[in-house]
Chains A and B, each alone.
Chain A
Amino acid sequence: MIELDKVSRTFQVGDQQVLALREVSLSVAAGEYIAIMGPSGSGKSTLLNLLGLLDRPSGGRYHLDGRDVTDLNEAESARVRREKIGFVFQSFHLVPRLNAAANVALPMLLAGVAPAERKQRVTQLLAEVGLSERADHLPSQLSGGQLQRVAIARAMSMHPALLLADEPTGNLDRATGREVMGVLEALNLAGAALIVITHDQDIGARARRRISMLDGRVITDA
């Protein structure tokens, strides 16, 4: 499903070049469950952003579902993100003025899904993450775990084949983190490929495949 071929990413900071990724090659099959680990600054987020088409590689090629997406234009990559990729962030990133249901519906809104269908799918998605009762609540009225579950429901609303989570439990206590991982793993079992960045060894241990990074390189992959 994912083919990375010697992908690099350099950042220009002042007159200094920061090599965030150095010729990373990686392939991911549909439905995989991968944990990415490594020290801070090792390039984990940079890799995830490239995989999610939020960022472009400075070198190398990226194939997604057999299609070369390295040089897609802005509108095209937005379309791919919309249809194939779901993001979950460490700090949830819910829109504060929208209630849970409206936050979940956002990707469908952007994709132009009809209101009636949107409504039906939101109900279903909130039920799947166990928040049917909280549909009308604003983010400020929800706990951290609930916020992340809303964010997961939102990430899944377009049924993406690839779920990318950057430290999804980083702002949650251990027990809540477990719960949230449970939800993500259930979605993975239902067929979506799941790539999680984590500093938590226990969470890393649950993944079927672990990738360790250091200094912009993949050092172990098993």
Chain B
Amino acid sequence: MRLLDTFSLAWGTLATQLRRTVLIGLAMSIGVGAVVVLTALGEGARGYVLNQFAGLGANLVIVIPGRAETTGAAPGVLSGQTTRDLTLKDADAVARLRWVSGVAPLNVGAAQITRGSLGREAVLLGSSASLLRIRHMRLGSGQFLPDGPSDQATPVCVLGDKIRTELFGNTNPIGSWVRIGERRFRVIGTLAAQGQQMGFNSDELVVIPVAAAQQLLNTPSLFRILIEARGRAAVPRVKADALALLKARHEGEEDVTVISQDAILATFDRLLTALTLAVGGIAAISLGVAGVLIMNVMLVSVAQRRAEIGLLKALGASAGNVRALFIAEAGIIASLGAAGGVALGLLASFVLGKIYPQLPILPPLWAIVAAVATAIFAGLLFAWLPARRAAKLDAVVSLARR
């Protein structure tokens, strides 16, 4: 029997029971659609998190004072006990390393910023000129912190967008003086509105030279040193070199943690991929359910079509032909169901993408392929029993029953 004839005969049977065919196909579609949509969501979440990290810059190496437990989860998330301060001198030394293209020492604190009668609490960021480039910040107007020796406490500041509007409204703030804590600073620039980025809202920042911040916050130590490596390939090298250098500077004690976003990224990537797989796997169970449905319906169909099966055998159909016919029926339903499911999944993903524009929701190709393959496989697998039963029917007995 020709393959095409097998399929057209099977399709003819399905077409005469259109409602039943559509309903089983729908069950398959829902299963496939669920896999597609849920993996799309998982991938969207992963993409979102990875994007947030990418905002840090791929060449970024971060030095954190204190030593994170090596057995712990992602380093840097928990900062261990600080044994020795990280200093500006450390940062300057790191800046002289090969493969390092920029260094931004970092101090963070909260401070009151006032202009005349207007004032508010702001996040104070002490850093250097390199921060702008390393953290991918964008200037709104004026200029960023001046280049110069890191221990020079020039009284200048750069305002985040929200701080600027709250203190200056629509007037030009460049050249004006504001009071931060007990000191006066001249506004030399403003940041463009950027919103939330890695838990930092740059709109509510005030950036001042690191030495000035240390005086204001009354601390000799740094919160972080951000290092920019010359290219992504240099990251491991810079990590090793920075660690060795700081160890030497701290009397041989390894009391800092050096991380790159690669490590964090890899951890999150693994975590979120596992989550996507788990969710997709749970959705795939519904494909098994749809498969059982196909089996049930086909068992009934075999019982109903005994006379036809007996007739086909009398006309010269082998058991193999009969089996092929039933498997083809299941295959057609499963394929149509899978196609419908992919369409359904894509549509739902599209709608979700419109609802949550910040999530890059796109069903991964592997998930679509896997869902379709699982659906067709489940359809064929569960059709096997009914097909076998049909093929084994005794022609004489089947024909005798009318």
Contacts and interface: CB of A to CB of B under 8 A. Distances in A.
Interface of A: 49, 52, 54-55, 74-75, 78-79, 81-83, 85, 87, 89, 91, 93, 95, 97-98, 106-107, 109-112, 154, 158
Nearest to B315: A107
Interface string B307-349: 1101111111111110000000000000000000000000000
Contacts of B313: 54, 78, 81
B316 A78 contact: yes
Given A75-B319, A107-B316, A110-B317, 17 more contacts: A54-B314, A54-B395, A54-B399, A78-B313, A78-B316, A78-B318, A78-B319, A81-B315, A81-B316, A82-B316, A87-B315, A91-B402, A106-B312, A109-B1, A109-B5, A110-B316, A158-B316
Contacts of A54: 313-314, 395-396, 399
B402 A97 contact: no
Q: For chain B, what secondary structure do more than half of its interface residues adopt (helix, strand, loop), or is it mixed?
A: helix
Contacts of B312: 106, 110
B112 interface: no
A71 to B, nearest CB: 16
B318 A95 contact: no
Contacts of A95: 308, 311
Contact of B319 (A74, A87, A110): A74
Contact of A112 (B1, B9, B307, B399): B1
Contacts of A98: 12
5 contacts: A75-B320, A78-B317, A78-B318, A110-B312, A110-B321
A10 B396 CA distance: 14
Given A79-B316, A79-B318, A81-B316, A110 B1 contact: yes
Nearest to B311: A93
Nearest to B395: A54
Among A87, A98, A110, A154, which residue has the most Cβ atoms of chain B within 10 A? A110
Contact of A109 (B9, B16, B395, B399): B9
